[in-house]
């Protein structure tokens, strides 16, 4: 096991009828909030009304910054920063999923510096201070509600970049599973795929294989993401299923799984980010396209971890196979089959991306490989993986 520091100070308030707590929790941090949210769904579901009422009743004035879209953009972050400054906001409140929370994080850091916020993403500047952030989560997926990472798309340069900084942990995140009853089937599945991908990245890219307790936690989280998602799709207003998926997705990327693994990477995300930057497809959908191809490529030279995962998560059908290579390839197929079963796309062709686009996708991914220091991912390797995703 490698040395690590684990320090996750986010306070989680989880359960039914918890949204109103956003008022008192936020009031302890500031008096003028920039409320960051998405498009229409939070107004339809009533959560927008609940949040604004709670803030107002707690004496927090609200400056609105709606309109965050999935694959959130730098332009919208910049306009949020401008607004936060103009109105003298001293706290940021995010109402939404990963895109909204990531935008809110970027605004919280950009609002207190003189330079452009994108410099944080390209590594030219680092975050030394920011405005405090509280969140109300509306979809089980990204884990941003309890971690210190964020991902933003620069539309001008067509770069979707992300990074982490310890100042970006939300102070308080409210997770009310009932809010997610109205998340449609496709985005429920994409959320589960996202949670699985977060666990899978670390499970596969650790250089230290002596991590038994982390392995068991990660296997449990992957298995449970699938089970909980299946139950949510069957009965969208099943409280326990929604709660199970929500907490699983949070635990999937809150630092716990990575503790002790040493340096881990996000190679699947690296390639997927190019898909969503270039084609604007949902992140989870992009992931279910990339994961089976990446995993099949990875199994070709390092079958052991893939085989272990398969034996423990999918059980007898995989454990019964003779070689690690066979077990690993069967694991890839089993995971792909599950993605298919929840109607998350599993090939580039399913989202009408032709093979002739592969060089352009690889070109884009290479830029992020550089920023994320995944130098082993050459153009040739990325293209090879993408060909397995056709």
Output DSSP code: residue 73: B
Q: Tell me how long the chain is.
A: 390
CB of 17 to its own copies, least distance (A): 8
CB of residue 102 to its own copies, shortest distance in Å: 22
Nearest residue (CB) to its own copies, 104 versus 243: 243
Q: What is the DSSP string of 91-117?
A: EEEEEESHHHHHHHHHHHHHTT-SS-T
Q: How far is the CB of 2 from its own copies (least distance, A)?
A: 7
Note the residues at the interface with its own copies (CB under 8 A).
1-16, 18, 177, 210-213, 216-217, 219-221, 223-224, 227-228, 239-240, 243-244, 247-248, 251, 256, 259-260
Alpha-carbon gap, residue 184 to 39, rounded angstroms: 15
Residue 64 or 208 with smaller CB distance to its own copies: 208
> Helices in 206-302 by DSSP H: which ranges?
212-234, 239-251, 267-279, 283-301
Return the closest-CA partner of residue 294 out of 187, 227, 374, 209.
374
State in angstroms the smallest separation of the CB of 16 from its own copies. Answer: 6
Which among 300, 388, 294 has a CA at the least distance from the CA of 349? 388
Q: How far is CA 36 from CA 63, 96, 131, 231, in A?
A: 9, 8, 13, 30
**Separation between Cα atoms, residue 102 and residue 149, nearest integer Å:** 8
Q: How far is the CB of 315 from its own copies (least distance, A)?
A: 10
CB of 286 to its own copies, least distance (A): 25
Q: How far is the CB of 215 from its own copies (least distance, A)?
A: 8
d(CA 245, CA 242): 5
Q: Which is nearer to its own copies, 73 or 224 (CB)?
A: 224
* CB neighbourhood size of 165 (10 A): 16
Least Å distance, CB 65 to its own copies, is 27
Nearer CB in complex with its own copies: 84/313: 313
Nearest to 318 by CA among 302, 335, 301: 335
Judged by CB, which is closer to its own copies: 217, or 365?
A: 217
Angle (nearest 5°) at CA 21 between 17 and 22: 120
**Closer by beta carbon to its own copies, 5 or else 375:** 5
CA dihedral (326, 328, 330, 336) positive or negative: negative
- 16/379 with CB nearer its own copies: 16
Question: In the complex with its own copies, which residue's Cβ is closer, 202 or 372?
Answer: 202
């Amino acid at each position: 096991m490698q040395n690590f520091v684990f320090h996750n100070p986010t306070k989680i308030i989880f359960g039914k009828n918890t949204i109103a707590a956003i008022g008192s929790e936020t009031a302890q941090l500031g008096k003028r909030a920039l409320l960051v949210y998405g498009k229409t769904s939070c107004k339809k579901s009533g959560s927008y009304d609940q949040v604004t009422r709670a803030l107002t009743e707690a004496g927090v004035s609200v400056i609105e910054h709606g309109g965050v879209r999935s694959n959130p953009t730098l332009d919208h972050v910049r306009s949020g920063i401008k607004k936060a400054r103009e109105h003298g906001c001293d706290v940021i409140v995010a109402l939404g999923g990963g895109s909204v929370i990531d935008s809110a994080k970027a605004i919280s850091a950009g609002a207190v510096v003189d330079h452009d916020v994108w410099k944080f993403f390209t590594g030219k500047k680092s975050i030394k201070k920011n405005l405090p952030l509280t969140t109300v989560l509306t979809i089980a997926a990204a884990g941003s509600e309890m971690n210190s990472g964020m991902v933003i798309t620069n539309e001008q340069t067509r770069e979707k970049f992300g990074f982490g900084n310890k100042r970006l942990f939300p102070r308080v995140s409210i997770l009310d599973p009932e809010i997610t009853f109205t998340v449609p089937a496709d985005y429920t599945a994409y959320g589960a795929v996202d949670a699985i991908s977060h666990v899978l990245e670390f499970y596969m890219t650790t250089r230290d294989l002596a991590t038994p307790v982390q392995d068991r936690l990660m296997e449990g989280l992957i298995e449970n993401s699938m089970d909980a998602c299946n139950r949510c799709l069957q009965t969208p207003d099943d409280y326990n299923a929604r709660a199970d998926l929500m907490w699983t997705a949070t635990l999937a990327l809150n630092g716990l799984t990575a503790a002790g693994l040493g340096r881990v990477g996000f190679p699947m995300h690296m390639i997927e980010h190019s898909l969503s930057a270039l084609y604007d497809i949902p992140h989870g959908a992009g992931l279910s396209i990339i994961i089976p191809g990446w995993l099949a490529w990875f199994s070709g030279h390092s079958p052991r971890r893939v085989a272990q995962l398969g034996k423990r998560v999918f059980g007898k059908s995989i454990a019964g196979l003779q070689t690690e290579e066979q077990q690993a390839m069967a694991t890839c197929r089993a995971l792909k089959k599950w993605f298919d079963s929840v109607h998350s796309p599993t090939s580039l062709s399913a989202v009408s991306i032709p093979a002739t686009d592969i060089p352009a996708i690889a070109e884009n991914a290479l830029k992020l490989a550089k920023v994320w220091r995944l130098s082993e991912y050459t153009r040739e390797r990325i293209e090879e993986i993408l060909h397995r995703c056709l």
